[in-house]
């Protein structure tokens, strides 16, 4: 045995480990399982996972600092909504750097316009449904809120309508393309440096968590780590709820719909345990949005997410990858959801139009609520798999 | 692997993000005859999985991909 060989063997193990995690994309089904588990861990730690709430907090903060809102929102630094979304962005950014997938990606003008329009629609839809595809659908269904199921139906309808628009656009509008600059400039080779920057970005997040902990904000710090875990998982698996609802109509591919069904089932089982045992309140993440807000908000959100090419979580992680179109979508999402929510809240009529708070176990017991959710998700799993073979729902161009 | 193949049609999707490249591929492949080759230039990182997967699913022949400076080149031969 030559002692000098030891470090190089260890290096090889490290390098091959790094390549496994950050070179190859992870399979989508693994993303589904990990997101289901992270959802339960996040709820057990503090609260359910959400994305739109954080964007709204940023929008509220912006409007109050320019003097449009009289009331100041909770500081984005300690709002749990804001921290979860910040963590998602942070984790996706770090993960994109570590995978050498970060680049400022410009897009043609039409695409930028679609980012703005899609983001605005998603902001309106999530204000109506009590959350985006995450808080309004994924976490809400897990929390056994009937509004989550209403939103799922709305998202499917919206995804179909959005796709019809894209087909129309393909025939009638020139999409253009971007001239790619030759990246042979002298100086720094960014791709080589990205992984080191990514490691620094993630270490900085751990330092931030430690600072929160020092200042007695351990709960917030932990949520930052949860958000970062979501960011890494989602960026590595390219987990995309838009795909989950669009693909059955576009290509018929069913990997993503199946991964979402798996994630919801795991998450719902965990939420049921946490709520039934009294560890968490029964009304948590049961928004007043059954059925009008959930369904119609879902349709509007669904159209927006397909046009933008990213949902609540998807726009944020792609923004973290440097895509200008999705950065615009996130900004307009934050602004429009803040304004629209403020408008709904200012009117008792609009608030009641959105619907009721329906916690399913209050009507059909925990057992039947869980069975119903699992049956719906299994049905989605099976129907999309069948559709992949038969292409019954696929819309031809 | 993709050297020396002359494509019958080229699709420039640089700057477009998911799902636009895939939709354009879907449309372009429909117009090609069996055996013809479609070249795609793209910058979306998601395309590296999506384009080969889609070609395989449709029964077309994915000939390969290659990183150029700042974008990726994909080649698909339409199946019969």
ipTM, 2 decimals? 0.92
Asked whether the beta carbons of residue A397 and residue B57 sit closer than 8 angstroms, the reply is: no
pLDDT at A186 over 60: no
Condensed to tens digits (0 to 9), the pLDDT of residues A249-300 reads: 999 999 999 999 999 999 999 999 999 999 999 999 999 999 999 999 999 9
Question: According to the model, what pLDDT value does residue B5 have?
Answer: 83
Whether B31 has its CB under 8 Å from any CB of chain A: the answer is no
Q: Which residues of B31-50 are buried (b: 16+ CB within 10 A; e: fewer)?
A: ebeeeebbbbbbbbbbbbeb
**Which residues have C-beta within 8 Å of that of residue A244, sequence separation ≥ 6?**
A256, A257, A259, A260
Q: Which three-class secondary structure state does DSSP give residue A247? A: helix
**Who among A170, A180, A397 is closest to B71 (CB)?**
A180
Phi, psi of B56 (to 5 degrees): -65, -40
* Contact indicator for A107, A323 with CB cutoff of 8 Å: yes
Percent of chain A with pLDDT over 70: 96
Instruction: In whole angstroms, give the CA distance from residue A138 to residue A132.
Output: 9
Bridge partners (DSSP) of residue B11 are: B40
Question: According to the model, what pLDDT value does residue A6 have?
Answer: 67
Instruction: In whole angstroms, give the CA distance from residue B5 to residue B39.
Output: 10
Question: According to the model, what pLDDT value does residue A180 have?
Answer: 65
Interface-testing mutation among A112, A178, A306, with chain B (most B C-beta atoms within 10 A): A178
Q: Is B13 among the catalytic positions?
A: no
**Who among A243, A250, A323 is closest to B17 (CB)?**
A323
**Helix, strand, coil percentages, rounded to 5, for chain A:** 75, 0, 25
Residue whose structure tokens are 């709305």: A154
Please name which of A125, A113, A49 lies closest in space to residue A302, comparing C-alpha atoms: A125
**Who among B14, B22, B46 is closest to A180 (CB)?**
B14
Asked whether the beta carbons of residue B70 and residue A181 sit closer than 8 angstroms, the reply is: yes
Asked whether the beta carbons of residue A251 and residue B14 sit closer than 8 angstroms, the reply is: no
Q: Which of B5, B17, B18, B56 is catalytic?
A: B18
Q: Which three-class secondary structure state does DSSP give residue B39? A: strand
CB-CB neighbors (< 8 A) of A25 in chain B? 49
The pTM assigned to this predicted structure is 0.94
Tell me the shortest Cα–Cα distance from B4 to chain A, in angstroms: 22
pLDDT at A183 over 60: no
Instruction: In whole angstroms, give the CA distance from residue A329 to residue A315.
Output: 7
Give the residue on A whose Cα is nearest the Cα of B31: A397
Whether A184 has its CB under 8 Å from any CB of chain B: the answer is yes
Question: According to the model, what pLDDT value does residue A96 have?
Answer: 95
pLDDT at B68 over 90: no
Among the residue ranges A170-184, A206-220, B41-55, the one predicted with the least confidence is A170-184
Tokens of B47: 């395309």
Tell me the shortest Cα–Cα distance from B14 to chain A, in angstroms: 5
CB-CB neighbors (< 8 A) of A166 in chain B? 19-20, 23
Q: Which three-class secondary structure state does DSSP give residue A265? A: helix
Give the residue on B whose Cα is nearest the Cα of A311: B18
pLDDT at A2 over 60: no
**Who among B20, B43, B69 is closest to A184 (CB)?**
B69
Instruction: In whole angstroms, give the CA distance from residue B21 to residue B17.
Output: 7
* Contact indicator for A307, A166 with CB cutoff of 8 Å: yes
**Quick one: average pLDDT of B59-73?**
91
Bridge partners (DSSP) of residue B33 are: none
* Contact indicator for B70, B42 with CB cutoff of 8 Å: no
**Who among A175, A180, A242 is closest to B20 (CB)?**
A175
**DSSP line for B3-22:** TT---SEEEEETT--TTHHH
The radius of gyration computed from the CA coordinates of chain A, to the nearest angstrom, equals 21
Condensed to tens digits (0 to 9), the pLDDT of residues A115-155 reads: 999 999 999 999 999 999 999 999 999 999 999 999 999 99
**DSSP line for A5-64:** HHHHHHHHHHHHHHHHHHTSPPPHHHHHHHHHHHHHHHHHHTS---SHHHHHHHHHHHHH
Asked whether the beta carbons of residue A397 and residue B30 sit closer than 8 angstroms, the reply is: yes
CB-CB neighbors (< 8 A) of A177 in chain B? 12-16
Bridge partners (DSSP) of residue B61 are: B77
Interface-testing mutation among A180, A303, A384, A395, with chain B (most B C-beta atoms within 10 A): A180
* Contact indicator for A127, A304 with CB cutoff of 8 Å: no
The radius of gyration computed from the CA coordinates of chain B, to the nearest angstrom, equals 11
**Which residues have C-beta within 8 Å of that of residue A198, sequence separation ≥ 6?**
A94, A95, A96, A97, A98, A99, A102
Condensed to tens digits (0 to 9), the pLDDT of residues A381-390 reads: 999 999 999 9
pLDDT at A320 over 90: yes
Question: According to the model, what pLDDT value does residue A396 have?
Answer: 87
Whether B26 has its CB under 8 Å from any CB of chain A: the answer is yes
């Amino acid at each position: 045995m030559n002692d000098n060989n030891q470090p190089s063997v260890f290096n090889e193990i490290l390098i091959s480990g790094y390549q496994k995690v950050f070179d190859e994309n992870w399979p989508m089904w693994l993303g589904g399982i990990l997101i289901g588990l992270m959802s339960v861990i996040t709820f057990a730690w503090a609260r359910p996972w959400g994305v739109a709430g954080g964007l709204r907090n940023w929008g509220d903060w912006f409007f109050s600092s320019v003097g449009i809102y009289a009331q100041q929102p909770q500081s984005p630094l300690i709002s749990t909504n804001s921290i979860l979304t910040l963590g998602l962005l942070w984790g996706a950014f770090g993960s994109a750097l570590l995978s050498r997938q970060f680049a400022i990606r410009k897009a043609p003008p039409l695409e930028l316009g679609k980012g703005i329009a899609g983001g605005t629609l998603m902001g309106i839809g999530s204000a109506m449904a009590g959350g985006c595809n995450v808080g309004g659908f994924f976490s809400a269904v897990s929390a056994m809120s009937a509004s989550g199921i209403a939103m799922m139906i709305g998202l499917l309808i919206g995804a179909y309508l959005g796709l019809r628009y894209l087909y129309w656009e393909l025939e009638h509008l020139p999409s253009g393309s971007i001239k790619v600059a030759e990246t042979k400039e002298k100086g720094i080779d960014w791709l080589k440096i990205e992984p080191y920057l990514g490691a620094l970005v993630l270490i900085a997040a751990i330092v931030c968590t430690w600072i929160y902990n020092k200042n007695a904000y351990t709960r917030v710090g932990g949520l930052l780590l949860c958000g970062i875990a979501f960011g890494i998982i989602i960026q590595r698996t390219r987990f995309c709820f838009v795909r989950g609802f669009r693909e059955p109509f576009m290509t018929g591919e069913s990997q993503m719909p199946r991964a979402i069904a798996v994630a919801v089932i795991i998450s719902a089982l965990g939420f049921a345990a946490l709520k039934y045992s009294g560890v968490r309140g029964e009304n948590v993440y049961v928004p007043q949005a059954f059925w009008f807000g959930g369904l119609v908000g879902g349709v509007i959100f669904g159209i927006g997410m397909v046009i933008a090419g990213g949902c609540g979580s998807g726009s944020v992680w792609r923004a973290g990858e440097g895509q200008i179109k999705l950065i615009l979508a996130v900004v307009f999402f934050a602004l429009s959801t803040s304004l629209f929510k403020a408008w709904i809240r200012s009117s008792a009529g609009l608030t009641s139009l959105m619907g009721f708070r329906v916690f399913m176990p209050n009507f059909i017991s925990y057992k039947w609520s869980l069975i119903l959710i699992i049956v719906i998700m299994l049905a989605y799993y099976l129907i999309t798999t069948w559709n992949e073979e038969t292409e019954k729902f696929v819309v031809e161009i | 692997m993709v050297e020396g193949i002359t494509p019958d049609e080229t699709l420039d999707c640089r700057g477009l993000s998911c799902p636009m490249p895939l939709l354009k591929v879907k449309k372009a492949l429909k117009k090609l005859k069996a055996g013809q080759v479609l070249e795609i230039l793209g910058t979306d990182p998601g395309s590296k999985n999506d384009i080969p997967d889609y070609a395989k699913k449709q029964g077309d022949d994915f000939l390969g991909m290659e990183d150029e400076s700042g974008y990726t080149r994909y080649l698909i031969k339409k199946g019969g």
